[in-house]
Amino acid sequence: MRHTILSLLILFGLFSTDIDAQEQPFKCATPEMNRKYLENHPGARAERAKLAEFVENYIKSNPREDQIYIIPVVFHVVHNYGSENIGYEQVADGVRIMTEDFRLMNSDTSQILDEFKAIAGDAQIEFRLAKKDPWGNCSNGITRTQSYETSNGGEQIKEIAPSWPRSQYLNIWVVRSIPGGVAGYSYYPGTAGDGRDGILITHSYVGSIGTGSVGRSRTLTHETGHYLNLAHPWGSTNDPEIGSNCGIDDGIDDTPNTIGNTSCNLYNVSCGSLDNVQNHMDYAYCSKMFTLGQGAMMRAALNSGASDRNQLWQESNLIATGVLNPETAEICAPIADFSYNISSGCEGMLVNYTDLTYQTDSISSYSWQFDGGTPANSMEKSPNVSYQESGIYDVSLTVTNPTDNSEKTVTQAIRVYSAESGFSLPYYDDLESEDFPNTADFESSDYFFIKNGETGWQYTDLAGYSGQHSLMIDPRYEPYNIANSVVTPAIIIDSTDFPMKLQFKMAYSQKETNNTDVLKAYVSQNCGESWTIQYYKSGNTLHTANNYHSFSSFIPENTEWRDEEFPINETLFKHADNLRIRFDFLSKDGNRMYIDDISINTYNSIETNKLSDEFSLFPIPMDEKLMLKSERTGKMYLELYDMTGRLLNKTEINHSAVTDISHLIPKENTGIFMLKIVTESGTAVKRFVK
């Protein structure tokens, strides 16, 4: 029986990394997605019914079968300089596999069961990467767009990397991940609008090389089958292996009724007949064929006006997109781009640069410039560069080919630190420095932010525990599942400092009980070159607020802050020269988080934070005088340090309520200082600016 096919298909993990391996069970989102689509586009039902009638009449007319349908393809790679930024070779490999599968030229056709060899069909459809864009400019069939949204792939990707006209190109969007572990999804003809039509797919399901694999390489074939009007063999659902599937069908006569398969049992019988488990549209991991009937269905769709499928293969469009005679295509001008494996480290760090130049596969020369690097210049494609002196450095690449040249410069790309520079213990920062986060002393004092979302971490005066300032992030305005980071200054340590721990104040509110925002803290012993996780909390274990804040902005009261701490692993870090801390916040639609009063102390000085709250310095920044105020009185020892941890001065005082300590600060010195206050009860540390 024939059924009108109407659905927005979403496929979950179609193939495993091993062609014979079993993936986790499939998840289903089709019913909900289809319901939403029909609610928003009621005219789609009529369009799909019209297409079904056209397809039936077209197939009945038994048209000539010598037409080869060539479809121009464009891949929109949306990336954040991760593995999802797949290379031209992987994309081309994916297109090769698609064409071989649709033409029944795949090398494994000999493995098709004898029972189905007679109906295995050449669909007479080929795919070619576009050689011209919609405006007639040279193209290699790939666009590249940098966006953190690649980790949250969905329909918004099609706005970030706009569709090329569907009447001219099959649009395929490539992303890092799609929520729910989705491999990819496609629209049937007659459902999506021009800007949405096409395929969205995870990078590891494209091709058999690079981040792809042989086992997953047929996913794009499967999705393109949907794009050309094919349903799953059991019909338009994402629920295989259900007995009731025998009562529905895919509308194609020569695909046996089946409940669907998620494993490669070639001789599985369901619905009273042998299943075509090797069909590209099933969920098994051994697909090798389309049937003759499926080929006829797809060719019929390509002759229909539904979603302009009948415009794709016209000779005039093949000329306009440059695929009619691709061997004569011109060489496109390059667009320089590159990545690097690390962005910060200690003196002597080695950085690997990778050329990511795109829009062409023809490069005549590379010219790199590395400020502060050895070598300072290189003509290699992907050089290795060492950095021997501390500083912040730019990197530049110029690429040339017979058509043109292109240059890209990244300012402040590389941060190199001295392992011997940093704050001494005990370290305490109430984040009240006037010139936070930038100071003249790059070596030890700089905080820096790694922003992947809209705003990331911010230095704010909205709230503070021990003063007026703190670090704040607002996940309400961050993309879902995106991590933003803040890195602290370096702290000098040695093996005698252990055991030690990190402490900080935190305030956070969920919007509702199911918010699962995540806070992680990492420690680096090599100036930020690599990181080891030491702290992890999520969801309601982070919540410190007295109430939930669904719509209003959360600004904590004093009682809504909480002490957090974790030990710094002695086994991992005992032989380190210095440590840096990185806080990562993974946004999951909660409300604001604040961090204040960051400290690292030995366990012998764990009272430093609490004692520091009892003292204050004024005025800040210091002018001619600096006053120490506290209700604590009696004999105290004061030690003054600069930002590198160098002892500048020390004295003993008999403190009353307020003491003038201006004489302790050298007149010629300016910048940020640390005052250590040693009392009978413990040690306090205060920072101030002169």
Q: Which residues are catalytic?
A: 223
Report the candidate in 519, 516, 514 with the shortest Cα–Cα distance to residue 483: 519
Neighbours of 85 (CB within 10 A): 22
318-322: long-range pairs with CB below 8 Å, 24+: 318/70, 318/72, 320/132, 320/136, 320/168, 321/72, 321/130, 321/131, 321/132, 321/168, 321/169, 322/72, 322/130, 322/131, 322/132, 322/139
Report the candidate in 174, 181, 177, 142 with the shortest Cα–Cα distance to residue 158: 174
* Angle formed by the axes of helices 44-60 and 30-40, nearest 10°: 110
d(CA 504, CA 607): 13
Which contiguous run of DSSP H or E holds residue 302? helix 292-302
CA atoms within 13 A on the CB side of 141: 28
d(CA 299, CA 62): 11
- Residue 258 tokens read as 């089946």
Neighbours of 613 (CB within 10 A): 13
Report the candidate in 139, 207, 135 with the shortest Cα–Cα distance to residue 360: 139
CA atoms within 13 A on the CB side of 57: 8
List the beta strands (DSSP E) in 478-588: 483-487, 491-492, 500-508, 518-524, 532-538, 562-567, 578-586
Sign of the alpha-carbon torsion through 232, 237, 240, 241 = negative
